[in-house]
Structures are given as C-alpha cells and as structure tokens.
Amino acid sequence: VLPACLLLALMLLAPALAAQQERGLIFNLDAGELCMQSAQCKSGCCHHKSGLSLARCAPKAAEFQECSPKNILGVYYKCPCESGLTCDSDRTIVGSITNTDYGVCRDPQD
C-alpha cells in the first residue's frame, strides 16, 4: 500500500515541481521580482535604487548606459553590462568602498 501512495504523491507533485523550475520561487526570477543576490535573477542583476529600498531583478545595462563593475556582493545600484560590453569605470578602492565606482557600458571593439 505504501508504494502506491508514494507513486500517487509523486504523480501529483510532478507538475508543481516542473512549474517551479520554469519560473522559480528562489531562482530564475523575472525583472521586477524581489531578490537578494544576482544569481537569483534571469538577467543576472539584482538591483536596488538606494540603501533603504528592496532589491529587485532588473535587466543588465545596455551600451552607453551607466553600470557597475561586477562585484562579489551580487547586489548593485547600477547593473553590470550586457554580454560583450565592458563597464568603463574608475576602479579605485575609495570608489569600491563608497559604492561610487560607476561607469558607462562600452563595446570593447569600438
């Protein structure tokens, strides 16, 4: 009787588990959803507007938009650049500490 119940439970949970992987409650989050780390977001950017605001997933910065260099904290005031672009910023220790080492996304081949 126990294996039949286990099989029934797995059959009922399978669609819920599949739906969870598509969108996700913790990972694979869409733009605008609350996050704590950039690894949670589909875009790869967990962004907050100020130190007091809640962080939300946001799209990465496009060419000529303000950006932050990638950091180990995983939460940004300005999102890092889209793939293929680099963030031209003044990477000083003071800028890193005060979180003001913003730059502009540029194509390195230009």
CA distance 34 to 41: 9
Range of the domain at 49: 24-106
Asked if residue 7 is part of any domain, the answer here is no
Predicted confidence (pLDDT) per residue in 28-86, tens digit: 999 999 999 999 999 999 999 988 899 999 999 999 999 998 888 889 999 999 999 99
**Is residue 17 in a domain?**
no
> For residue 28, what is the domain's CATH number?
2.10.80.10
pTM: 0.70
**Is 32 a member of any domain?**
yes
With respect to residue 96, please indicate whether it lies within any of the assigned structural domains: yes
Quote the DSSP letter at residue 38.
G
65 within domain boundaries: yes
- The residue type of 48 is H
- With respect to residue 16, please indicate whether it lies within any of the assigned structural domains: no
Q: Answer yes or no: is 36 within a domain.
A: yes
Reported as a pLDDT band with limits 50, 70 and 90, residue 7 is very low
Is residue 40, in this structure, part of any structural domain at all? Answer: yes
Between residues 36 and 99, the one the model is more confident about: 36
Question: For the chain, how many structural domains are there in total?
Answer: 1
